[in-house]
Each structure stands twice: as C-alpha cells, then as structure tokens.
Structure 1
Amino acid sequence: MRINNLVALVLFSLFLASCSKNSKEEIVLEAKNGNIEDALICKFLPYQNFSEEENIHLYSSKQGDSINVNRVVLNFKEIPANIKIDSAFLQLKFNAKSVIGKESYGENGFVIQRIISPWDETEVNWANAPVTTDDNQIFTDKTKLNKDPNRINVTRLVQDISDDKDNSYGFLLKLINENSSSLVLLASSNNSDVSLRPKLKIYYSDKQ
C-alpha cells in the first residue's frame, strides 16, 4: 500500500513538472511608454517623415502617368528573444476620423514582411526605407469599407523575430497590388483613442 502511494506521488510530481515546462504565457504589446514605433512612408514625398500621424493608411493611387504609394513600418520592440511562439496575432483598427477618407476601398489586401535592417521612427522615409525579407511573409484579405482587418495571424513572423532579434526590426505593411486605386485606413500608435492603437498578442512558452 505504501509502495502504491509512493508511486502515485512520484507520478503526480512528474505530471506537475511536465505542466510547468509546457505552460504557456501571454504577452500583449501595445503603445505604452514608447515601446511601439510606427510611421507612414510615401513614394511621392520620399524625404518626408510621417511618424506623428494619427493614421497609418496603406494607399495606392494613379496620378497621371505615375502611381503614388504609401507603406507602413511598425515595430513592437519588446518581443521576447529565444522563446517558442505558440501563436501571435496582430490587431489593427480602422480609423474613422482620418482626414484621408471615411472608408477603405479597392483591392486592398496587404502583405506583412519582416524588416531586417535598422530604422529610426523620426527619420524613416521612402528614400531610406529599411530592408525586408519575404521569408514567411503574411498575406491578408481585402478590408471592406469601414471594417477592421481580420485578426492577423503573424505567428511565423514573430517566431522569426524571436529567433533572430539582432536582425529583426518589426514589420513592413504594403498593399499586395500597388498598381490599383486602393486604401486601408488604419489607426497609428499616436491615435488619441487608445483602443484603436496597434496591438500584438503573443502566446509563448520557453524553448525546451
């Protein structure tokens, strides 16, 4: 009887140890204390910095024989290094108060890529835009009118960032088709409505 009790105790201890090793943690990264950097970069204004705007709109528009394009750089600086990402979701919100327009339109699905060269929020522009990689890039569906983009699964990209923190500097967002008239109205980390600011939710566990 005592042996059975001892065996049960050992098995229970092993179970608790296993649960502890495999337990998942959650972290939510949002615009507080400067831990998020974002900026808009504009093809027609290649040397101008747009880091203090309340919106970070993805945009393309034919203007004469040329096409104007806006892209977005976004960096959640506190993504932990060397962890196992179970899942990660990027939340972007529609900005109804944008002076650019009141609804998103066009074939405005966009792609998210990992940035692999440094950039400074107050200096970045189209002319000095950082380098990206298309490894594990994420494609999103069309954003309709005044709706938020669907919750975006960026698990693979966040794992890449965690695995290579020294060469990762956030995300670049750009329209999949930059040759059409398209717009996605998104709120930036400077938006006066805190609930609209970009947010990254990560579920992770320690690497074994």
Structure 2
Amino acid sequence: MRIRLSFAVIAFSIITVSATTREGCNQNKIKTIVLRDQADVIDAHLDYNEGTPSTFDANTGEANELPIFSWTVYGFPVTGRALIRFSLKSIPKKSEILSAKLSLYGYPENFQSFAMPQGNKGDNIVVLQRVIDEWKENTVTWNNQPRVTREGEIALPISTSQWNYNVINFDVTSLIKDMRTTENYGFSLRLQTEQTYRSIGFLSSEYSDVTKRPSLEITYKK
C-alpha cells in the first residue's frame, strides 16, 4: 500500500512539472522588441525645389528631421518626402509577426528646420507606402528615389497641432508582414495630396534625443 501511494505521488509530481514546463515554453515563444537604435534604422529626406535644381541630387541622410510638405519658396514649388527602413534581421525567419507598431515624433516648438519653418499646416494626411527598390541612406536623392507600391498603403492621421505632433503605436502590421514575405526596403512617407500648402514634420534617427527617434515595436511568436 505504501509503495503504490509513493508511486502515485511521484507520478502526480511528474505531471505537474511537465505542465508547468509546457506553460513556460509557450510564454517564452512570444517576444516583443523595439527597434530604435541607429544600427537598426536608416532614414532620409527627399527634396524637390524647382527654383534650385541642385536639390534634385542632394542627399540629406544625415539630417535630424524628416520634413514632408508641398509648399513654395520664392514662388517656386517645393516638395518633401521621406524614407525610413527598420532592420528586421533580429527576428527569426520562421517566426510569426503578431503586431508591428510605428512611432514617429513631431518637431518640438522652435525647432530649427532647414526645410519647414512653418511647422504642421493644412490638410497634411500622409500615406505610408512600401518601398520596392533598394536605396542607401547616404546616397538616395529625389532623382534616384526608389519606387513604391500603393498596395496596402496606410494613411497617417492629419496633425492636430503645429508642433509636438506625435504618431504613437500606429499599426503597420500588414506592411511589415509584406516586407517579410518579399523584401524589406522600408517605408515611403509622402503627402496624400501633394498640393500647396500642406506640411508635417517628424524627427529622424539622427535626432539628439534618442527617445524621440522613429521606433518600431514588433511582437512575434517563435
């Protein structure tokens, strides 16, 4: 009788340990990472200034801002777009993306913008599109900017303030999933309607305050 009881206790203990281990494994399979370091992000501003043709071939990959606009300078039309790419190499290839949330931070008041001193103005809805060509942060320009696809594009909400307008935890899961199944060339940001006068600006990965740089929070399951 004592032997049977001991065996039953041992068997119960094994079942309990097994159940706990299984539960722990399931919990460990889900992981969240935040991509924000300069090693994980590249971005650049694209500038078109009809009055200054040299801007067509100018690279601004080291700028601390991502101005997006349609404006005029001395009567000449000017247009600004932006590119941003987050490295997805730290995510295991066979893992499943559960969610991806993009955060962009707007210009603080009195920010010294080289392209957009007026801050956020007008009907400035921005479309986020998937880039389909390779590009490099230190060589991309308006003239050699990569192509994009409108398939699955997402519209960022219109700004609600002239300064300090942040887009936090914006759902880009579908676009990130597409980048995983095709190629990851990042996002293009441009005005939905590139007509004067509209503008919206975000800080880039070169901005001095690390907490205000673009970030991408990804939750995945191994």
Please, what TM-score do these two structures have when normalized by structure 2?
0.80
Matches within 5 A, 1:124-203: 124-144=140-160, 145-146=162-163, 147-164=165-182, 167-203=183-219
Question: Residue 5 of structure 1: CA displacement?
Answer: 8.3
Matches within 5 A, 1:76-87: 76-79=86-89, 80=91, 81-87=93-99
Matches within 5 A, 1:2-151: 6=11, 10=15, 13=18, 16-17=21-22, 20-21=25-26, 23-32=29-38, 34-44=39-49, 45-62=55-72, 67-79=77-89, 80=91, 81-96=93-108, 97-99=111-113, 100-101=116-117, 103-144=119-160, 145-146=162-163, 147-151=165-169
Q: Tell me the residue number matched to 2:52.
A: none
Contact 1:110 1:173 in 2 (8 A): yes
Instruction: Structure 1: give runs of 5+ residues left out of the alignment.
Output: none
CA RMSD in angstroms, aligned pairs only:
2.6
Contact 1:104 1:182 in 2 (8 A): yes
Q: Report Cα offsets for 1:130-172 as digits up to 9, x if no partner.
A: 12122221111101222212431111111112223xx221111
Alignment length (residue pairs): 203
Runs of 4+ in 1 over 4 A off after TM superposition: 1-12, 62-66
Question: Could you say what secondary structure the match of 1:120 adopts?
Answer: coil
Instruction: Structure 2: give runs of 5+ residues left out of the alignment.
Output: 50-54
In the superposition, relative to structure 1, how do residues 104 and 65 fare at CA in structure 2: closer, same or farther (>3 Å)?
closer
Contact 1:57 1:186 in 2 (8 A): yes
Question: Could you say what secondary structure the match of 2:218 adopts?
Answer: strand
Please, what TM-score do these two structures have when normalized by structure 1?
0.85
In the superposition, relative to structure 1, how do residues 64 and 54 fare at CA in structure 2: closer, same or farther (>3 Å)?
closer
Question: How much identity, in percent, do the aligned residues show?
Answer: 25
Question: Residue 124 of structure 1: CA displacement?
Answer: 0.2
Contact 1:136 1:157 in 2 (8 A): yes
**Which has the larger displacement, 100-109 or 3-12?**
3-12
Larger radius of gyration: 2
